[in-house]
Homo-oligomer: A and B are copies of this chain.
Amino acid sequence: MSILTRPILEINLDNLETNYRRLKELAAGAEAAAVVKDDAYGLGAENIAERLYQNAGCRTFFVAHGIEGEKIRPHVPDARIFVLQGVGEDSLPSFQKAKLIPVIAGRAMLDFWKENRIEGIKPAIQIETGLNRLGFREDELAKLTAEERGMFSLVLSHLACADEQGHFMNEHQRQNFVRLKEQYFPKLPATLSASDGTFLGSEYLFDMVRLGAAMYGINTAPYRENQMLPVVRVRAPVLETAVLNRGDFVGYSATYRAAEQRKIAIVSIGYGDGIPRSLSNVGKVFFYNGGKISEARIIGKVSMDNVICDVTEVENLRAGDMAHIINEFYTLDDIGRDAGTIGYEVLSRIGKNPRFIRNYI
């Protein structure tokens, strides 16, 4: 009898590399930068940056925070590493140590940079085109001196609705971007699109695309079938099976009650491992027995370390068998949708618990 207790996270670096290459081809003519912020969405920025640097020739990376850049520097020795949240007192040492490039997003940060600038580093400037998140607004751009405008090496903005092909915001932001870039930084290379924008057509590519979510297997162009390969698989062992009798309750707050006799499995994964608690009584897991896939509904509340599922219809299930939580059939996008969120949030959570057995392929 094989007994296991830990959930398993499998990260397919071959598929990730293939996704990167496909996206690079789609963006032909533009540089394909890789976004490895938030520890590569939880999948391990060091491994992923190294793989893309060594095998796929990627030479530009984006992270969110200085410490994230510092962490990947040894793996991408001569690459450019841009830091999207910019630079501040708390992150300046990382920039100095690892030669990181800040993405400057406003006047206050620019003033800070001017007082603390690092020899040989030319920042990117983020400009606001419609997302209303980080970036210089037009009135701030107008106040930049010629000398200040000359400090930058790249113009960046970010699309709000690029996962909806026909959304009016896309063209609106693109036009704003072209106009502001031409007016203030006519000679600088420019980047507007992340993964989702890369699918919108050549006029969204400019000089560089910033590939993140799609590279990790998320469908960032959900108006058509996913063209990316799955990168993430999550499985977790059944610790125990049991029988529910009519009237039995399941889980915290007794939110599920059996109307008839059911068989249940207690699976060793929970919200502590990143399984959204919003899957309580609505999510599902899958079992594979020979060639047969069986769906098993999550019943009761997801708890910190366990989910309980109804396996009445699953044949020959035993303690030690593996429940499939995310795979090529039930993807990050599927679990995100069922949890009332998006695959990005699930992905970012899944990679964060060190108790996963983590296998890179």
Most buried by B among A91, A112, A304: A304
Closest residue on chain B to residue A355 by CB atoms: B65
A345 and B277 contact, CB distance less than 8 A:
yes
A6 and B249 contact, CB distance less than 8 A:
no
Least Cβ distance of A110 to chain B in Å?
10
A318 and B3 contact, CB distance less than 8 A:
no
**Chain A 62-92 per-residue mask, 1 if CB under 8 angstroms from chain B, else 0:** 0011111000000000000000111111110
B244 and A132 contact, CB distance less than 8 A:
yes
**Chain A 1-34 per-residue mask, 1 if CB under 8 angstroms from chain B, else 0:** 1111110000000000000000000000000000
Q: How far is the CA of A177 from the CA of B39 in the complex (A)?
A: 45
Q: How far is the CA of A133 from the CA of B266 in the complex (A)?
A: 6
A266 and B6 contact, CB distance less than 8 A:
no
CB of A141 within 8 A of chain B? no
B305 and A84 contact, CB distance less than 8 A:
yes
Q: What chain B residues lie within 8 Å of A319 (beta carbons)?
A: 106-109
**Chain A 343-361 per-residue mask, 1 if CB under 8 angstroms from chain B, else 0:** 0110011001111010000
A239 and B105 contact, CB distance less than 8 A:
yes
B272 and A242 contact, CB distance less than 8 A:
no
A105 and B253 contact, CB distance less than 8 A:
no
Least Cβ distance of A71 to chain B in Å?
9
A305 and B38 contact, CB distance less than 8 A:
yes
Q: What chain B residues lie within 8 Å of A357 (beta carbons)?
A: 90
Q: What chain B residues lie within 8 Å of A251 (beta carbons)?
A: 131-133, 160
Contact A67 to B132, CB < 8 A, known contacts A112-B1, A349-B349: no
B240 and A169 contact, CB distance less than 8 A:
no
Identify A108's interface contact among B3, B112, B345, CB under 8 A.
B3
Q: How far is the CA of A105 from the CA of B319 in the complex (A)?
A: 11
CB of A250 within 8 A of chain B? yes
Least Cβ distance of A182 to chain B in Å?
22
Q: How far is the CA of A167 from the CA of B240 in the complex (A)?
A: 27
Q: What chain B residues lie within 8 Å of A65 (beta carbons)?
A: 5-6, 305, 355
CB of A320 within 8 A of chain B? yes
CB of A308 within 8 A of chain B? yes
Q: What chain B residues lie within 8 Å of A244 (beta carbons)?
A: 132
Contact A239 to B106, CB < 8 A, known contacts A85-B5, A251-B131, A266-B134: yes
Q: Show 12 residue pairs from A and B whose CB-CB distance is below 8 angstroms, ordered by the A residue.
A: A1-B111, A5-B88, A6-B66, A64-B355, A65-B355, A86-B239, A105-B239, A106-B239, A132-B242, A134-B240, A161-B253, A278-B340
New contact pairs (10) apart from A41-B272, A132-B264, A132-B300, CB-CB < 8 Å: A3-B87, A3-B88, A85-B239, A109-B239, A131-B250, A131-B252, A132-B249, A169-B249, A277-B345, A304-B344
